[in-house]
């Protein structure tokens, strides 16, 4: 597989996008033509950065999307005690062989599917709820672009900077709601990475909430976010003529929506709550 990376690194592992490659023994690709080997490579690549620790958090039967024609892989065994995992029945023999930036590489003991076969690539049978949203379900890169186009540039840049962490923390979610602060109200872009990540996650709620649903919630209703121990609360609902969360007004409802994600524009950023004593 090293030869394939050298031939076409930008098209197979884009440097600006997260990806996890399951590298297989060279013998598995030695006799394949380049087009067939490229298909095999894409089938062994997941469009998110996943460490062994991330993979072990997923239950057996969870599906992983690949870059090959919407085909999935499936986790067939995972043991957190001895840190072992198998995918499509193949043992991951060298986990965390490479972890850097947006990319992760794990060595596999064999190919997940032999592309020299005449049979079509099978669809993985997922016993558990998929723990990773395929790009069509949780399209973070498209959300980043949409935010920039719609004038939420600062938050777009901030989300882009921590997109891998946000994607990883939303693996088990079908829907999220993003509250995007106006540029003048989001000054965390230059913050240290841990603070920026927490600030962005504070603006990503678990579950999809349309404006009418938020307006119907009672004052004090909690809303869970991706930031650990950071809940938002409805502070003004539709009965007041405005909807506010943690004292911040929603100024542009449903500025962007795509399957799995809805975005509301807000006047300023949510501030962290002081630790309870």
Report the candidate in 140, 124, 136 with the shortest Cα–Cα distance to residue 63.
124
Same domain for 167 and 252, yes or no, is yes
Same domain flag for 150 and 59:
no
CA 18 to centroid of chain Cα atoms: 9
Residue 160 placed within a domain: yes
In three-state form (DSSP H/G/I as H, E/B as E, the rest C), the secondary structure along 26-54 is HHHCCCCCHHHHHHHHHHCEECCCCCHHH
Alpha helix ranges (H) inside 44-98: 52-56
CA 249 to each of CA 70, 221, 252, 267: distance values in angstroms, whole numbers, following the listed order: 39, 15, 9, 6
E strand or H helix at 155: helix 153-161
9, with CB counted inside 10 A (0-12, 13-18, 19+), is exposed
The answer to whether 64 and 132 have CB atoms below 8 angstroms apart is yes
Say yes or no: 194 and 237 in one domain.
yes
Coil, strand or helix: which one is 185? helix
Ramachandran sector of residue 26 (left: φ over 0; alpha: ψ -120 to 50; beta: rest): alpha
Determine the structural domain holding residue 226 and report its residue range: 140-266
Does residue 124 belong to any structural domain of this protein? no
| In-domain check, residue 87 | yes
Report CA-CA distances (Å) from 62 to 42, 95, 165, 171. 19, 18, 19, 11
27 and 86 in a single domain? The answer is yes
**pTM given for the model:** 0.53
- Do 82 and 145 lie in one domain? The reply is no
Q: Answer yes or no: are the C-beta atoms of 130 and 63 closer than 8 Å.
A: yes
Provide the domain count of the chain. Answer: 2
* Cβ-contact 65, 129 below 8 angstroms: no
Are both 181 and 91 inside the same structural domain?
A: no
- 265, 254 contact by CB (below 8 A): no
Per the CB < 8 A criterion, the answer to whether 74 and 88 are in contact is yes
Residue 101: inside a domain = yes
Q: For residue 122, what pLDDT is reported?
A: 56
Task: Identify which of 172, 35, 55, 63 has the alpha carbon closest to the alpha carbon of residue 108.
Answer: 55
Rounded (5°) CA angle 263-130-87: 135
From first to last of the 277 residues of the chain, give the pLDDT tens digit.
Answer: 555 555 554 445 666 777 889 988 887 777 777 778 788 888 898 878 888 988 887 777 777 878 876 678 888 888 777 788 999 889 999 999 888 888 889 999 988 887 655 555 555 555 444 444 444 446 888 888 888 888 898 898 889 888 888 888 887 788 899 999 998 888 887 788 889 999 999 999 999 999 999 999 999 999 999 998 789 999 998 887 899 999 999 999 999 998 789 999 999 999 887 665 4
pLDDT of 276 reads 55
């Amino acid at each position: 597989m090293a030869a394939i990376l050298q031939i076409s690194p930008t098209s197979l592992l884009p440097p600006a996008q997260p990806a996890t490659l399951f590298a297989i023994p060279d013998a598995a690709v030695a006799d394949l033509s380049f087009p067939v080997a490229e298909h095999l490579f894409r089938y062994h690549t997941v469009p998110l950065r996943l460490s062994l620790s991330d993979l072990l958090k997923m239950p057996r039967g969870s599906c992983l999307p690949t870059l090959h024609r919407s085909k999935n892989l499936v986790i067939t065994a995972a043991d957190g005690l001895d840190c072992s995992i198998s995918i499509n029945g193949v043992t991951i023999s060298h986990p965390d062989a490479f972890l850097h930036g947006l990319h992760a590489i794990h060595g596999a003991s064999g190919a997940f599917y032999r592309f020299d076969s005449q049979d079509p690539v099978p669809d993985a049978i997922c016993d558990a709820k998929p723990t990773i949203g395929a790009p069509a379900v949780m399209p973070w890169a498209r959300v980043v672009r949409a935010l920039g186009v719609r004038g939420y540039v600062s938050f777009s840049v901030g989300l882009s900077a921590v997109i891998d962490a946000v994607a990883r923390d939303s693996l088990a979610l079908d829907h999220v709601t993003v509250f995007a602060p106006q540029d003048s109200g989001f000054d965390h872009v230059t913050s240290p990475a841990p603070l920026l990540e927490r600030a962005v996650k504070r603006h990503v709620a678990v579950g999809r909430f349309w404006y009418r649903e938020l307006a119907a919630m009672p004052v004090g209703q909690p809303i869970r976010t991706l930031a650990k121990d950071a809940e938002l609360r409805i502070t003004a609902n539709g009965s007041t003529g405005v909807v506010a969360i943690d004292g911040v007004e929603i100024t542009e409802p449903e500025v962007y929506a795509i399957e799995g994600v809805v975005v509301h524009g807000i006047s300023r950023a949510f501030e962290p709550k002081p630790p309870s004593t």
